[in-house]
């Protein structure tokens, strides 16, 4: 019976990339007559599993201590939540956002309490990324959603012609960028590139054939899924991860000086012939660049009005019509750091950076793959917001924080 929480944790980890849930649309989730997904209170299947998991963990592992850092983390969230409620114009929205922040802490707390085997965690994550990658490949080949059983895991229905769908221009045609069960191809690429180093740098024993086969399969699937996501940030992160792995695995000068440049040059040549996505980074779409610039300007205006405490959790989008002119961009600013700075002020972003750097420092001493995964999260968060605003991103953030502090347990660090 005591193993039930661990088994439930594995099920929760398998659900990480899914988004099966029920959306609610109260008045505060509607801005200028438009429904805004980011503001919609949503009950996910993974929420139910997490609450049950936390309850069982409290029952069976109540006497197991956790690092003091986690207590400070919880106190910090509660303080930010109280401040946010005080300064927010939409109190209920602030409360909902605070609950999501508390879920990040709760998942990290569960991981630290249970301290499951590293092999078990990576096996489940490998299975999860395999099915997610397979779905992304099928979507890319069919240029539409797959449907069927995948809808029960949160796949949304779309085609290459669906309005607002993410596409890329290649010679003579438009290509649909795959979503899998995630809300955007960039999130798909980020999800895979953060988990890739955890699995790539894992130790594999020769007699553990199951882990060997699953690890190799998941790595191949992830790299392919990252490539077809057409997320340039994920591409860059993946190249750095692979270079780091080769550097460690094959320290000989011939491999480093000839092999890596040759492989990268070949991949770049193939990509530019087939897609030309990477070169276009120097010629950003004018509309996209303008939107990002406009959102940053809005964020800076809001920060100037409330630099210390911010405007409140989830209050960025409702404030957009107050400090800008039509047409309104009802979405978060594309940087987790600027978003936290705007909504939670200098105090909030300071706490976030302390937590991030502490987790990074802990992982650097104990788990190289996790250290690289946390670095990727920090890098991708510089120009995207989904680690703060979307459920899968929040779960990833909680996962790496929880794993980082779990490595303080010698048993976990060695298995």
pLDDT in tens, 100-144: 999 999 999 999 999 888 889 999 999 999 999 999 999 999 999
3-state secondary structure of 168: strand
24-57 CB burial, b ≥16 within 10 A, e <16: eeeebbebeeeebebbbbeebbbeebbeebbebb
pLDDT in tens, 281-308: 444 455 567 788 889 999 999 999 999 9
Segment 260-281 shows an average pLDDT of: 56
pTM for the full predicted model = 0.90
Q: Is 100 a domain residue?
A: yes
Q: How far apart are CA 255 and CA 6, in angstroms?
A: 42
Q: Is 124 a domain residue?
A: no
Structurally, how many domains does the chain consist of? 1
Q: Is 237 a domain residue?
A: no
Q: Is 1 a domain residue?
A: yes
Q: Which residue segment(s) compose the domain that 52 sits in?
A: 1-114+291-415
Q: How far apart are CA 54 and CA 128, in angstroms?
A: 21
Q: Which of 19, 15, 10, 9 is nearest to 390 (CA)?
A: 19
Averaged confidence pLDDT in the chain: 87
DSSP character string of 14-30: HTTT---EEE---GGGE
Q: Give residue 160's pLDDT.
A: 82
Counting residues of the chain whose pLDDT is more than 90, the rounded percentage is: 60
Q: Is 63 a domain residue?
A: yes
Q: Give residue 212's pLDDT.
A: 86
Q: Give residue 218's pLDDT.
A: 95
The sign of the torsion formed by the CA atoms of 208, 211, 215, 216 equals positive
Q: Is 300 a domain residue?
A: yes
DSSP character string of 38-92: GGS-EEEHHHHHHHHHHHHHHHHSTTS---HHHHHHHHHHHHHHHHHHHH-SSHH
3-state secondary structure of 159: strand
Alpha carbon 8 to chain centroid, angstroms: 21
Q: Give residue 409's pLDDT.
A: 55
pLDDT band at 46 (very low <50, low <70, confident <90, very high): very high
Segment 31-60 shows an average pLDDT of: 93
Q: Give residue 196's pLDDT.
A: 96
Q: Is 414 a domain residue?
A: yes
Q: Give residue 284's pLDDT.
A: 46
pLDDT band at 273 (very low <50, low <70, confident <90, very high): very low
Q: How far apart are CA 210 and CA 205, in angstroms?
A: 10
Helix (H) or strand (E) segment spanning residue 35: strand 34-35
Q: Give residue 347's pLDDT.
A: 92
Q: Give residue 317's pLDDT.
A: 94
Q: Is 325 a domain residue?
A: yes
Counting residues of the chain whose pLDDT is more than 70, the rounded percentage is: 87
Q: At what angle do helices 368-380 and 336-366 cross, to 10 degrees?
A: 170
Radius of gyration of the chain (CA): 21
User: Cβ(154)–Cβ(18) under 8 Å?
Assistant: yes
Q: Give residue 162's pLDDT.
A: 86
């Amino acid at each position: 019976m005591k193993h039930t929480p661990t088994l439930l944790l594995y099920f929760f980890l398998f659900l990480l990339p899914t988004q099966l849930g029920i959306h609610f649309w109260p008045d505060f989730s509607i801005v200028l007559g438009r429904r805004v997904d980011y503001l919609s209170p949503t009950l996910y299947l993974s929420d139910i599993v997490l609450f049950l998991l936390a309850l069982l963990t409290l029952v069976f592992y109540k006497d197991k201590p956790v690092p003091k850092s986690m207590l400070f983390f919880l106190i910090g969230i509660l303080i930010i939540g109280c401040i946010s409620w005080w300064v927010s114009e939409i109190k209920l929205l602030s409360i909902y956002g605070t609950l999501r922040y508390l879920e990040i802490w709760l998942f990290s707390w569960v991981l630290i309490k249970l301290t499951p085997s590293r092999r078990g965690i990576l096996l489940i994550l490998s299975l999860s990324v395999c099915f997610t990658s397979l779905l992304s490949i099928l979507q890319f080949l069919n240029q539409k959603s797959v449907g069927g059983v995948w809808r029960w895991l949160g796949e949304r229905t779309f085609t290459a012609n669906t309005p607002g769908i993410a596409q890329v221009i290649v010679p003579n045609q438009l290509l649909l960028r795959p979503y899998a069960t995630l809300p955007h191809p960039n999130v798909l690429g980020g999800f895979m590139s953060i988990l890739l180093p955890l699995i790539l740098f894992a130790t594999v024993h020769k007699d553990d054939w199951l882990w060997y086969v699953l690890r190799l399969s998941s790595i191949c699937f992830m790299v392919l899924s990252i490539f077809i996501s057409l997320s340039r940030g994920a591409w860059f992160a993946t190249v750095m991860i692979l270079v780091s792995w080769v550097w460690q695995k094959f320290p000989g000068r011939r491999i480093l000086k000839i092999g890596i440049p040759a492989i990268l040059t070949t991949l770049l040549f193939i990509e530019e012939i087939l897609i030309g996505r990477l070169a276009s980074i120097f010629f950003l779409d004018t509309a996209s660049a303008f939107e990002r610039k406009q959102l940053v300007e809005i964020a800076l205006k809001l920060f100037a009005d409330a630099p210390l405490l911010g405007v409140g959790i989830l209050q960025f989008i409702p404030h957009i019509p107050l400090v800008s002119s039509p047409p309104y961009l009802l979405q978060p600013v594309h940087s987790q750091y600027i978003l936290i700075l705007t909504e939670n002020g200098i105090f909030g972003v300071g706490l976030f950076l302390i937590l991030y750097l502490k987790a990074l420092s802990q992982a650097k001493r104990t788990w190289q793959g996790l250290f690289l995964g946390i670095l990727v999260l920090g890098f991708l968060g510089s120009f995207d917001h989904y680690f703060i605003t979307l459920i899968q991103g929040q779960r990833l953030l909680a996962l790496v924080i929880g794993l980082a502090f779990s490595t303080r347990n010698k048993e976990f660090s060695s298995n």
